[in-house]
Chains A and B, each alone.
Chain A
Amino acid sequence: MERRVVITACSAITPIGRTKAEILDSLMNGISGVKVLREDDVLSPYIHSKVFGTVDYPITYDFKRQYRKTMGPVAYYACQVAKEVLESAGLDEAFVTGGRLGVAFGSTHGSPTVQRGIYKTFFSGSQAGYSSIGAVDYLKSMVHTTAVNITKMFGITGRVISSSTACTTGSQSIGYGYEMVKYGMQDAMICGGADEYDTTTVAVFDNLLACSTAFNDTPHLTPRPFDVKRDGLVVGEGAGAVLLEEYEQARKRGASILAEVIGFSCNNNGGDLILPNLGGITETIRLGLKDAKIPADDMDFISAHATGTKMGDVIEAQAIHSVYGGRPAVTAFKSYMGHTMGSCGAIETIIVAHLLAGGFVVPTLNLEEVDERCAMINHVMARRESPLRVAAIQNFAFGGVNTSIIIKKWEGR
């Protein structure tokens, strides 16, 4: 049995704003959330890329100590967006705690901030310090810290999925949550991803020569997906969460429906763990369409993964063109906020749902001159009204993991 799955609530913490109004304002007015990389006195002095997609506004957390005590920064982000999703959805407590609501939520590597604290203690040589490393530090830093802190805070007793596949963490969470509901394993899932401010990830990409370095003095001009002057990705931070619900349940309780998830695909390149793979990405796109049971011609809009690297953008453009041709409009949202890693799939899904509902598209920021190798697809170069109906959110990760989420505008039935 296949059931319909709809998005009934969403929340995000992004470098370009918190609320729907703030995020759309940034998108419509070309406001970048990329700022100068903060010094951390550990790795930052050695990193060549001095830019970061930064959440630089205050967030008020109202979490009781019993919840705070197992949370590192990444769990604060995750629990805040999950809290707002549940508040917005208005699910009753009996359902939330009854076992038919699950959580699919992850991050790139738990809380690196807390992990650094542990390593500092290890290497300090202090016996007293060593004994102070306890269960709490592990609970704050472990890979599934986001998912289980959400379950704890809200008493959720359903399934827990905690993907940790770098850039596809958020999209896998939504995809696997969608499958949970579609196939009747759960009636609703809180899905998303989060990543905190962290220079470890920047250092990794920096060492691989994948980070942007040419715009250190003008952070807002990078990253530049598909542009001839692009010189690499910009790491960022953030969080995004959506509530996926079985359609009949959502309808019966009068929930406000933002969009319908109609397809998901995930595959692996089966080889190199770093290089983008045209065959693998193309197959992901095809599998997504097959799952959604729609022809390629139905696709109106594509949120490209497009991080702004030299080869990644070219390969993605080729894959899009080989399946969709040049018709669907394409935007790369990382141009506004950098690559928010484990959260990007969720944040980009939320943005696309807003664009579907609003009937407009926004351009890829900093795309001034399209690289001729990426020119075969339909880049959005300016904001315009556009009656979108179906859209895809594409994400690809280190490890050769590829995902495609396909969502449809909610038209009342």
Chain B
Amino acid sequence: MTQVTLIQAINQGLRQAMKTDPDVVLMGEDIGVNGGVFRATDGLYKEFGEARVIDTPLSENGIVGMAIGMALYGLKPVAEIQFMDFIYPAFDQIVNEAAKFRYRSGGQFPCHVVIRTPFGGGIRGGLYHSQSTEQLFASTPGLKVVIPSTPADAKGLLLTAIHDEEDPVIFLEPKRIYRTATGEVPEGDHRIPFGKARVVKEGSDVTVVSYGAMVPQSLQAVNAVEKMGVHAELIDLRTLVPLDYETVLRSVEKTGRAVIVHEASKFAGFGAELSAIISERALYHLKAPILRIAGYDTPFPYALENLYLPSVDRIARGIERTATAT
């Protein structure tokens, strides 16, 4: 196994899926000849041709709507939305159509589309190349929401999304770590099941729950507080829907303390759901208030993005305070 980046792992996953199943087709803006603006589909157009790697007009509702139509037929379309910030023209298609097709048809028309999109800040992308609005999709029944944080998970979760799931999947790729997250990726048809969180680091004093680009950020913070004698357990959720309640609750029952880290805005963010679940199901184990460390409730800034995003120091301070609160 060789070291690859997260974006290379996505590329490997797509190639693997297309080799495995001729029904897998890709569509999106600039994904063909150009190989995608982040190079996720690099080389695939040449290898599989224009019938399977489809350059589309500039229309997000068109991309997702066309993918839905292909899924209704029985193909396995994988659509790319160039940035999550541009997904909203397709919101109607995702929320009203993809998410509800299986239900509204009494199971006659499953809608197995995979919608990949880079998300999150930290690349000096300002308002419209930085957003994290996973909570909008996580709160829509019928959608699965996946967020990898390592190259191996990116490939494994993507292949599961394409081959094993038969539901619409919103596959969010933390673009800030597209090239900084590196690691070994299993060759071939590597799959990771949905709904199984990963314990990144074990610890006994406080539970830290995160996902996406905030996982490596949180890991640095966890390592920093370790030097102060605080042993934090770090959990990477991997999939928000379906959510692995058990791993989170088991950890909080052990540590009695919980810190939730995400870069999306705090108010009504996914951390609110996690906090509610812990409160509903593990309140009597808690020794300190739950802490949410999140993006602020402002639009995503340009010049001040380093203040907006949870930094290693801000996370470390939150973990340390929660771990020692009495």
A binds B: no
